[in-house]
Chain A
Amino acid sequence: MRLQGPLPIARTVALRLALFSLLWWVLTEGQPGSWSLGALFVALATALSLALSRPVPWSAVGFIRFVPFFLWWSLRGGVDVAWRACAPSLPIAPGMLTYRLRLPPGRARVFMTAVISLLPGTLSAEIVRNSLFVHALDQRTSSEADLAALEMKVAALFRIGLSTQPSTRAETS
């Protein structure tokens, strides 16, 4: 699934032009008269975004696989916490987990940190070197295996090869 484009920078520019054009179309609700101004701002926004952030390698296949996974798990996350909040016995058993991250520092790691907080029962609290501290709403059901599965998906999205699998273990503290 390595879809290496011919010119990464040309692909990035084309993609960002398309994204900002889409954004303009959405914001103006498709008024045809707005495009003379829109073209200018799309070009300016693309130039600014290139100046502010370097091209990120990402995989379209990884993205297509990630979206349904993310929607399904955020649905489960919402249902899970709503049920726990409303059950009379308040079935929670919170605690902290420590997870050894295999993703390198950078955007992939930031992305994973954000997504963890939207998954069922987990909330990322702190990163110290390669350890991610995760608060679990229920230690009995939140597992390191879920975090490892998420990490694999994020790695596929950002086209990162994870070091085979030795340090998948996560110790609870």
Chain B
Amino acid sequence: MSILEVVDIVSAGLLILGGVFFLAGTVGLLRFPDVYTRLHALTKADNLGLGLIVAGLAAQAESFAAVGKLALIWLLVLVASAFACHLVARAALRRGIGPWT
């Protein structure tokens, strides 16, 4: 097996695993009972899913700059989702929505 095939297999594995986490995040969004628990599912599972997809694509990238661009995309999504998640939770709390127990 050549090195390129190994890279392809690793890359495919990471992409599929990333997709699995996106699917799990969506399952959580549907099954979890309230806004707070749903935020848990969306932020954490999707960030990991995107991280794995970015890693899978980085293995196929043609230059280091392209890897940097992918990493930058992941970082920006990470920052945006962490703050969006905090703001949604805060807005829900200020509206008096109690957590499901």
The number of residues on chain A lying at the interface, defined by a beta carbon within 8 Å of a beta carbon of chain B, is: 40
B69 to chain A, nearest CB (A): 5
B27 to chain A, nearest CB (A): 5
Which A residues lie within 8 Å of B47 (CB)? 74, 78, 118
- Tally of A-B Cβ pairs under 8 angstroms: 120
Which A residues lie within 8 Å of B11 (CB)? none
Q: Are A121 and B89 in contact (CB under 8 A)?
A: no
Interface hits, A35-80 → B, CB 8 Å: 74-75, 77-80
Which A residues lie within 8 Å of B83 (CB)? 114
- Contact A85 to B25, CB < 8 A, known contacts A22-B68, A27-B69: yes
Q: Are B93 and A125 in contact (CB under 8 A)?
A: yes
A127 to chain B, nearest CB (A): 9
Q: Are A135 and B27 in contact (CB under 8 A)?
A: no
8 residue pairs bridging A and B, Cβ less than 8 Å apart: A74-B47, A75-B48, A78-B21, A81-B25, A81-B40, A82-B21, A82-B25, A124-B89
Contact surface of B with A, Cβ cutoff 8 Å: 20-21, 24-25, 27-28, 31-32, 34, 36-37, 39-41, 43-45, 47-49, 51, 63-66, 68-69, 72, 78-79, 81-83, 85-86, 89-90, 92-94, 99-101
